[in-house]
């Protein structure tokens, strides 16, 4: 009974010492961090590593309870160096998290930024129209294509692996690059600053073993690129003609050209510009239909 009373006294003391605004914010922040960590882990191959670590932890408790001294010494040595082990195991994931924090640049908040002015807005609108039209045509002819749209994460290493074009966008240029007899059709195109910047680029393949086995090299490269950067990657399947979009390691398959246009606009321009650009595109579609 006395233990029961002490338990409630402890709880009551904690409540009395509760500093409402700061402690509440502390709890909300910790909850948010844990939630985001669980969501990130469940959506990546880290989840399997976490299960393995939990198994080792459970095994250590069993060994300690059974007083198996040799096994306990071995496992305790591993646990004592757990921080170093975790850094080594989760190096790619830690790098991705830090890159996501560092993607925001000061130009995102500046009204002088090229990416926030009317010229860039018009260039993105033209680019999206040109590419969506080309993607629709390549889908009909089952012409394989792989296009990376750079956002905040610089893709200099990927760009260097291909041939720099730095050309204005056009439907004909997209189609010409991915024409089956073209020298650059096997690689990826990188779009940067609303231009077709580089072609024939090599992308990193995803290491996620849980993705569907029917996905080919283009799709695996698209997922890998979206895992390691904030780029939007579009794939046209050579086998089915389906258009797919990879963002943040997630693949959306069988996307129609209208939906593709919406996705690209929402990802490549700011939220404040989105409605204005969509209205312009709709007016252009209405003129084409007349």
DSSP bridge partners of 290:
none
The pLDDT score that the predictor gives to residue 251 is: 93
Contacts of 251 (CB under 8 A, 6+ apart): 211, 215, 219, 222, 223, 244, 245
> How much is the pLDDT for 255?
94
Q: What is the mean pLDDT of the chain?
A: 80
Mean pLDDT to the nearest integer, 86-100: 69
Q: Which CATH topology does 110-289 take? A: YojJ-like (1 (3.40.1700)
Name the pLDDT band for 109 (thresholds 50, 70, 90). very low
User: Would you say residue 93 has pLDDT above 50?
Assistant: yes
Q: CA distances (Å), 154 to each of 3, 117, 258, in order?
A: 60, 20, 28
Q: Phi/psi at 8 (nearest 5 deg)?
A: -70, -30
Token pair for 64: 């300690």
pLDDT score recorded for residue 177:
94
| pLDDT tens sequence across 121-161 | 888 889 999 999 999 999 999 999 999 999 888 888 899 89
Count of all residues that appear for the chain in the document? 290
- Kindly report, residue by residue over 220-262, the tens digit of the pLDDT: 999 999 998 889 999 999 999 999 999 999 999 999 999 999 9
Domain ranges of the chain: 2-102, 110-289
Task: For residue 154, give both structure tokens.
Answer: 């610089």
pTM: 0.59
């Amino acid at each position: 009974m006395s233990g029961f009373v002490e338990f409630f006294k402890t709880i009551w003391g904690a409540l009395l010492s509760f500093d409402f605004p700061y402690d509440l914010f502390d709890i909300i922040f910790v909850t948010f961090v844990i939630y985001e960590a669980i969501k990130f882990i469940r959506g990546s191959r880290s989840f399997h590593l976490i299960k393995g670590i939990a198994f080792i932890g459970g095994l250590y408790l069993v060994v300690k309870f059974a007083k198996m001294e040799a096994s306990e010494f071995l496992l305790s040595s591993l646990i004592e160096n757990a921080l170093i082990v975790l850094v080594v195991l989760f190096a790619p994931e830690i790098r991705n998290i830090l890159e996501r924090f560092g993607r925001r640049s000061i130009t995102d908040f500046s009204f002088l930024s090229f990416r926030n002015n009317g010229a860039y807005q018009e260039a993105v609108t033209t680019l999206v129209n040109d590419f969506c039209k080309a993607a629709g045509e390549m889908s009909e002819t089952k012409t394989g294509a792989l296009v990376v749209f750079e956002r905040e994460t610089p893709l200099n290493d990927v760009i260097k692996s291909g041939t720099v074009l730095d050309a204005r966008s056009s439907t004909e240029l997209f189609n010409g690059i991915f024409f089956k007899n073209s020298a650059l059709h096997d690689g990826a195109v990188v779009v940067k600053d609303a231009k077709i910047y580089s072609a024939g680029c090599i992308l990193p393949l995803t290491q996620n073993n849980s993705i569907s086995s029917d996905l080919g090299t283009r799709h695996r490269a698209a997922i890998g690129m979206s895992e390691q950067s904030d780029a939007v990657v579009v794939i046209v399947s050579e086998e089915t003609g389906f258009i797919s979009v990879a963002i943040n390691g997630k693949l959306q398959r069988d996307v129609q050209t209208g939906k593709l246009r919406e996705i690209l606009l929402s990802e490549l321009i700011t939220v404040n510009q989105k409605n204005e650009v969509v209205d312009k595109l709709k007016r252009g579609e209405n003129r084409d239909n007349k």
